[in-house]
Structure 1
């Protein structure tokens, strides 16, 4: 691991730590404030933050596990620990939101008195802490699904705080107690909507799905343009995580020495890595076998 990677990992670790501390503070404040004020949106956000705190801790350990080197039992390493965590975090968000919507509907039918002033004060504190947490995680969330899922937790909390602040103001001015559960429903729907793409992407990775930006026909044409490459078939591409693409491919070469074939191997590897962002390439050379077969293996059978 390079010095840059160590530094980046250490920074991510520190960010996870401080975000966890901030979430614990928010959780305690909202549990107490929600119970005293009688606010469902505050209590629901407190449960949400409690789940976030746990998910952030899990995300941190997944981040640490993903740094472990390859072993005989995990030859591609442990990067998918973060993918699994991202999936579990997103699923947990949807489950919590569904429960909150059910309770909010009940509250609309049976409204309860709410202390708008206390609700507003706690929500402002929560918003400040969430904004700081979001800033700590924003840079790492661009290229890391695990941090992106955690970042989504934080952003959803910030949105919840904004909605609760608006609700608190309306309750103070107009005594509209129905605003509290209505805010809960609106925020829950938004969180579920934002969680769906993470679930879709993580499942695709875990199912060995090919990256959407990899043009198989373009890859085939680029490889066929190389001298002595007569055919390209049985190309398999999959993602280890959201940033690392693995490719295996069969190529038909002219009959030649291994030393000469290695030169072509290097050319193929360079094309796949520089043009298509592939991090690991496995090449199987053949003379005439499979020369007329498609680039994607599909003969109604299992993977050869």
Structure 2
């Protein structure tokens, strides 16, 4: 994890405490006002509290050094946490849309006054939590998923404020489930890219690299005859791993090491690869393509 993405235990504690407070306030406010939007936001905040705890635990696990059982380290723990949080957000949003449709078909009276006061409290608290998480969310998928949790709640609460004002002035109770649906759709829209990236990393999908250009650059190194059997994947959203077989002229191993160093430097500086593994060969695979598809080469 980058230094600026690390979150102190105190910040996590503050965000968790704020979310627990919001949950209680909105739960009571939803019961007494009859607002589905407040009740749904209360359960959403309850999930946020769990997501913050999960994010913190995952971030601590991710700091552990590699060992014989986890030779690449534990940084995937944060990706798993981001995946779980994103799935939870989408499931909750789907549930809220279903409940909102039911409320649209069977409207119920809503106390706009209570709804407005509670929504203002929730909005302020959520924006404070989002601000606390905002810095680390820029470069850490785990914190980004958690940040989206909090930010979506802040926007949800803001939407509830607007809905409460409309209910207070014009007594249009149907606006309550409409606001809930709009916020839920927005949450899914913002969460989907996080879920997609988490799945790609967990599935070891290739990062966005120009492999043909990489091969062309590697072939410019004196002595390199062919490049094949390339693999590239990510440990987390910041670290790219790369391996390849390179065909060289028949030479001493001591002469191969400078070629390794030059290629590693090229890949790290130009393509931002963090870990490079190269296998030198003379004749084996000399005519193979960039990506080998044979089962024994997987």
TM-score by length of 2: 0.97
Aligned partner of 2:70 in structure 1 is 74
1:166-245 equivalent positions in 2, closer than 5 A: 166-212=162-208, 214-245=209-240
Alignment partner, residue 266 of structure 1: 261
- What CA distance in whole angstroms lies between the structure 1 residues aligned with 2:100 and 2:165? 19
Please tell me whether the aligned partners of residues 12 and 140 of structure 1 are also in contact (alpha carbons under 8 angstroms). Answer: no
Structure 1 gaps of 5+ residues are none
Cα distance in 2 for residues equivalent to 1:189 and 1:8:
28
Correspondences of 1:98-137 after superposition (within 5 Å): 98-137=94-133
Structure 2 residue 292 is the aligned partner of structure 1 residue 297: yes
State the Cα distance separating 1:54 from its structure 2 match.
0.5
1:33 aligns with 2:29: yes
1:37-94, Cα deviation, whole Å (9 max, x unpaired): 1111000000000001001101110010011000100000011111111111111111
The Cα offsets for residues 81-134 of structure 1, whole Å up to 9 and x where unpaired, read as 111111111111111111111111111121112110110111111111111111
Question: Matches of residues 5-24 of structure 1 in structure 2 within 5 Å?
Answer: 5=3, 9=6, 11-24=7-20
Tell me the C-alpha RMSD between the 2 structures.
1.4
- Aligned residue-pair number: 298
Give structure 1 regions of 4+ aligned residues with deviation exceeding 4 angstroms.
Answer: none
Alpha-carbon deviation of 1:302? 4.9
Match of 1:257 among 242, 252, 260: 252
Aligned match for 1:143, one of 129, 139, 142: 139
TM-score by length of 1: 0.95
